[in-house]
Amino acid sequence: MTEQVLEATEAMVVVMEERATESQIEQVVARLVEMGMDVHRSTGVTRTVLGAVGQGHPDKGILELLDGVHEVLRISEPYKLASRTFKPEGTVVSAGDARIGGDEVIVMAGPCSAESEPQVRAAAAAVRRAGAKILRGGAFKPRSSPYSFQGLGEEGLRLLRDAANAENLKLVTEVMDLSQIEVIDEYCDIFQVGARNMQNFTLLRELGHARKPVLVKRGISATIEEWLLSAEYVLSGGNNDVILCERGIRTFETATRNTFDISAIPVVKKLSHLPIVADPSHGAGRRDMVAPMARAAVAAGADGLIIEVHCDPDHALSDGAQSMYPAQFDRLMAELRIIAPAIGRSICLEPVTRRGWGS
Ligand code: PEP
Ligand code: MN
């Protein structure tokens, strides 16, 4: 794939102080021209406003420090390929027959981590029966403590792939490091970049050359703009198949593991053409709060969900407290079958076994 070279237009407005002198205005104009911008000057009764448009890369911070400058407003977004302006119609990312960003709300579900063959098989069968199309599960786990379970590595990938194949599901799994890309590529359908790696720019750049979709989770303390700039790294490497994932951010609130930012869903929809899925499991951190957050995310316009499900969550090796029991997940899917059509979306209509598709 080729790197995308984008001659994007930047737009900026520089508002001068009321008492700015002619020589200060001229100096600002000169700096903007030096930065590659065309400048349009409007002189009002009290102030001069400079509109700058061009292919340059003006530095807002430097302009703000120039004498006589009152305020600098950036009009264009710093991300280009990820921006809705670049592709107003929206992007659909395909993994097999799962189309993320289309009419259908796609559900990805499975355990936090692959632990054993029976555990992965049971979870995969349960989520497929309920209507999930994509199996989630980690083999390389980014744990806050080095003493926590770190994942089964390649053996975990094999278990996940076999279970996905047996259930006719696609597989999303996390890549933590450049050195893992090659081996994970042999097993996965979608690469997951975790919250802790959202600003691992070398990893994102390399995934820009991958030929599979990349799900980019929002960093624990990332702004939406920073998150979209991370997606931009993958897109600018030539990989157009990027899915964003809201998974909660760290705030001052301690009642939940993270604060699940539902407002990020409509904000991203407005700013970007990329599909967005929601991870209420990491957002809430407690299984009793996953369903309400999942329902809200779908109602807010999420293109999909990624949910942790475990058949024996109380003995899970990671994230047991936020992993749903299969019966809870079944109930949630039934509720989503009411919510999705109410907002003009579809979702896998019935539990798969009864409908008989896919195998
Ligand atoms: C996960 O999906 O299990 C995970 C570690 O997620 P996050 O990167 O959002 O914490
Ligand atoms: Mn997890």
pLDDT tens column, 104-118 = 999 999 999 999 999
- Locate CATH 3.20.20.70 in the chain: 93-354
Average pLDDT over residues 207-225: 98
Residues 242 and 39: their CA atoms lie apart, in Å, by 35
**Residue 356's pLDDT band (cuts 50, 70, 90):** very low
Predicted pLDDT of residue 357: 44
Predicted pLDDT of residue 20: 97
CATH 3.40.228.10 fits 2-74, yes or no: no
Residues 318 and 221: their CA atoms lie apart, in Å, by 22
Whether 235 shows a pLDDT value over 60: the answer reads yes
**Residue 5's pLDDT band (cuts 50, 70, 90):** low
Strands 134-136 and 170-174: parallel
- Locate CATH 3.30.70.1140 in the chain: 2-74
CA dihedral (284, 198, 111, 142) positive or negative: negative
Name the CATH superfamily, with its identifier, for domain 93-354.
Answer: Aldolase class I (3.20.20.70)
Question: What residue's CA is closest to ligand 1, atom 1?
Answer: 112
DSSP 91-133: --EEETTEEETSSEEEEEEE-SB---HHHHHHHHHHHHHHT--
CA of 108 to the centre of ligand 1 (A): 13
Which helix or strand (DSSP H or E) is residue 284 part of? helix 280-284
Which helix or strand (DSSP H or E) is residue 292 part of? helix 287-299
CA of 195 to the centre of ligand 1 (A): 6
Q: What totals of helices (H) and strands (E) does the chain contain, helices first?
A: 12, 15
- What is the C-alpha end-to-end distance of the chain, expressed in Å? 33
CA of 229 to the centre of ligand 1 (A): 20
Average pLDDT over residues 83-88: 94
Neighbours of 263 (CB within 10 A): 11
Residues 79 and 179: their CA atoms lie apart, in Å, by 27
* CA max distance for the chain: 77
Whether 192 shows a pLDDT value over 60: the answer reads yes
Residues 226 and 222: their CA atoms lie apart, in Å, by 6
Question: What residue's CA is closest to ligand 1, atom 10?
Answer: 195
Residues 261 and 278: their CA atoms lie apart, in Å, by 9
Whether 3 shows a pLDDT value over 90: the answer reads no
CA 200 to chain centre: 14
**Residue 250's pLDDT band (cuts 50, 70, 90):** very high
Whether 2 shows a pLDDT value over 70: the answer reads no
Point out the ligand 1 atom lying closest to the alpha carbon of residue 319: 3
Predicted pLDDT of residue 349: 77
